[in-house]
Amino acid sequence: MKQTRRNFLKNSALAFAGHAPIIGGLSAMTTQAFAAALNDANDFNFVLFRVVGGMDSTLGIHPYLNSKTNLAESELFLDYNPATDVMPNIMGTQISLGPSAYALAPFARQMAVVRGIYMGASDIGHPAAIQHISSGRGSQSAPHMAAYIAAKLSDSSRFVVSNAAIQRGTVEAFPVILTQSLKKLGQPERFATASSLNLYQQPDLAVSRYLNLLKQKNKLIKFNEVLNAQPKSEEIQDESVALACLAAGLTRTVQIDMIDQTHDLDSHSGHSMHKSYQKMRWDRIAAFLQGLVNNQLLEKTLVMVVTEFNRSPGKNFNDGKDHNYTDNAVALFGRNVAGGKVIGDRKLYLSTPESPSVWAGSYINYKSGKVSELDALIKMQTTGSTVLPEHTNLIRPIDVWSTVTHSLSPELSKTFAAESLRIPGVFKA
């Protein structure tokens, strides 16, 4: 059977009959119970990078490894030679990296990739897609999972550090301090002489939070020490500020949005620049990971990198690539990660007269973690069955977050109740 987009969508519709992702509101588990569950967890940090714009994962953490392709650019455009430009099975791991993500190679043994994540069957746009991958829910009011973790790990002395708003929803309030404000703190000598008037002249820093910072002079000295040790550039990067906060003990929770309109990843036209633009992001993330290593923090810090969706395999009429919702990929590093592992996969479905080619995530067996090839769905179609093989499903954002929260504390994943599945092999047993 020809692997076309039409066949994939038809089979997927059959498979999801009676098994659609539940992406509604919160479960019955309360915020208080969620926070209480973290009381018994080991000391840890959590960092979420949201790379906004929609990365082409084929250029980074899910490269194309088949060098025997003669497809037209409208079916598949790689912008590299798979035989020479991919770093395969780095350090004997399952991790392979495309040319945009070479900088991650030193961390292959502390890294896992979940790929083939199903974001939905239709184009819902950037805001809804980044909300979905950040919360595990389709609802625009659903809290980000970083908010649940932040609600427990933050207090008057340890803020949530972010460069953008964190969707809190029904989660209890937690103190947030913006990286933009921390960049303006200056040298620690200022803190001993700051007057009350100076406090009120900080328009982007809440007075109570500034006062709490003043009480933590030793931490602020460490903050400046680590920040000043970072590689110098024209502008202090938000993740450099976050690293300094983690090292100084000012925070345990970070969310950084990587948005750069000058080097936009949403390459509906001119996709040729996407490779270098994506490389900028992975280089920054790799530098942050190295900073964690230098400060002995990587083993206690779970770092997660998400984006809205993958980009289409082939070029469109504007020499660009469009949104691909049936395939996404997430990278995880550090705390308790089963290093060197890749979970999930995808297939290339060729174009039809009605639609272009598409990447589509493969089904996996949630007991073994092995990819379940399309043969099972083809058999379902020919036999008229609408029941998936036992333990088999697509990977969804809600499953990713259930797996991540369970790795921090088994009680945390109960916020998703029975509607989610835990992906085997991502974290150490």
Q: Residue 78 above 60 pLDDT?
A: yes
Q: What is the mean pLDDT of residues 85-89?
A: 97
Q: What is the mean pLDDT of residues 201-223?
A: 70
Give the model's pLDDT for residue 1: 46
Q: Taking the mean position of all CA atoms in its chain, how far away is CA 176?
A: 20
pLDDT tens track for 95-144: 999 999 999 999 999 999 999 999 988 888 999 999 999 999 888 889 99
pTM over 0.85: yes
Give the model's pLDDT for residue 24: 36
Give the model's pLDDT for residue 31: 55
Residue 12: pLDDT band (50, 70, 90) is very low
Q: Rounded distance, CA 86 to CA 102, Å?
A: 9
The mean pLDDT of the chain is: 84
Place of tokens 């018994």: 40
CA angle at 215 for the pair 211 and 216, rounded to the nearest 5°? 120
Q: Residue 193 above 70 pLDDT?
A: no
pLDDT tens track for 222-257: 998 999 888 877 788 999 999 999 999 999 999 999
Give the model's pLDDT for residue 231: 80
pLDDT tens track for 320-373: 999 999 999 999 999 999 999 999 999 898 998 888 999 999 899 999 999 976
Amino acid at 326: T
Ramachandran region of residue 89, left (φ > 0), alpha (ψ -120 to 50) or beta? Answer: left
Cβ within 8 Å of residue 321, ≥6 positions away: 56, 77, 267, 268, 271, 274, 311, 312, 313, 314, 315
Residue 21: pLDDT band (50, 70, 90) is very low
Question: Is residue 301 within 8 Å of residue 84, measured between CB atoms?
Answer: no
Share of the chain above pLDDT 70, in %: 80
Residue 28: pLDDT band (50, 70, 90) is very low
Which neighbouring-strand residues pair with 427?
A: 337
Q: What is the mean pLDDT of residues 385-403?
A: 86
Q: Provide the 3-class DSSP secondary structure of residue 280.
A: helix
Amino acid at 17: A
Burial of residue 195 (number of CB atoms within 10 Å: 0-12, 13-18, 19+): exposed
